Structure 1
């Protein structure tokens, strides 16, 4: 079964409002702080990007549906801090002891932020094997869209694309597999492909039948069509 976050192609959620080019980046001051705290906490090295995505995905459905975007970020961060032992629930309530945190020396300093952003977190990795698929080859995504390593776990295959047939546009080399990385199962790198799907393959009545959708999908999500 899919989680509440997997909303792509779902009816009833209304139109997407992308906003105007001159709209502020953050609607409220605390939004910027929520982003900053999340990135700074990630620099402590206690979890990876895929773990943080999964933390947001596994918020309680009532919370996920009711929270704003940055409320989701903040709630997921609070869960990660407690689950990894960085803070306790009492610390988050302001009731913990005031001793110096064990990870204080890893704190991201303001003068190091630009360099940390410039470095980023590349996910490409060496790969000894040969990619199973080549550009132009027709492939089908697995059905259902699910993590095959952890029941109910994180995956980057959206539910709306499960069982769809498309064509490989490009192979990007090998990249860290989120399905493993989000659950402490190692990086498990495998080939990553851009796959092109006709809109009619994904939706029964596409607004423009000539539209196409491109998805970046890992090799274990695909099979020959």
Structure 2
């Protein structure tokens, strides 16, 4: 889905400061931040929702709330929203525990979709194009690579549920491998870029031969 969460490659935001991960203990800056992942993995382990459903729920957070909310708090909102949507909690119960109003994700606008039929298995070195489609539901490709051509660098040995279905709680999406696809910086962003190349991990159903 095209939303406020998909900001990579957008004009006007400048470079993103980045530092490599430190020791495990440095993962969380504040004591409360672990709650987001705790709720996420609790719900997944209990079969209440899938990881892709949580990602979709985070994507559905109202844009003004999304942009003013820290990363881990978004996952608290996402997991809590699913708890309400799945009937585990009511919004009143949630707000009683929170001690006041609690923002929830906006309703989904799409029922999801299964993987495309007749996908192709690619090999390292193959030229591929990302499907140029616009889908209102959850997807796992950044908008900046839609319709762009890259080269397969690696194919995973394992398969995972197709996110466009799993993100909506569907079980008819099948499972696919993913590919590491390298794109030239100019292919993605034009001549005005500092990127020499960008590698994106993409599900098989998002790819087609580049002809």
Q: Which 5+ residue runs of structure 2 have no aligned equivalent?
A: 98-117
Q: 1:132 aligns with which of 84, 96, 121?
A: 121
Provide the aligned C-alpha RMSD in A.
2.3
The answer to whether the aligner puts 1:64 opposite 2:66 as a matched pair is yes
The answer to whether the aligner puts 1:170 opposite 2:154 as a matched pair is yes
Report the Cα offset of residue 31 of structure 1: 1.2
Superposed CA offset, 1:100-143 (max 9, x none): xxxxxxxxxxxxxxxxxxxxxxxxxxxxx994322211111111
Matches within 5 A, 1:90-169: 90-94=92-96, 131-144=120-133, 146-147=134-135, 152-169=136-153
Structure 2 equivalent of residue 36 of structure 1: 38
Q: 1:200 aligns with which of 168, 186, 195?
A: 186
User: Secondary structure of 1:196's match?
Assistant: strand
* Counterpart Cα distance in 2 of 1:194 and 1:19: 22
Contact 2:40/2:51 (<8 A) preserved: no
Report the Cα offset of residue 15 of structure 1: 3.0
Contact 2:139/2:163 (<8 A) preserved: yes
Query: Which has the larger Rg?
Result: 1
- Classify 1:42/1:189 alpha carbon distance in 2 versus 1 (closer, same or farther; 3 Å): closer
> Normalization by structure 1: what TM-score?
0.73
- Classify 1:140/1:46 alpha carbon distance in 2 versus 1 (closer, same or farther; 3 Å): same
Structure 1 equivalent of residue 91 of structure 2: 89
> Normalization by structure 2: what TM-score?
0.78
Contact 1:131/1:191 (<8 A) preserved: no
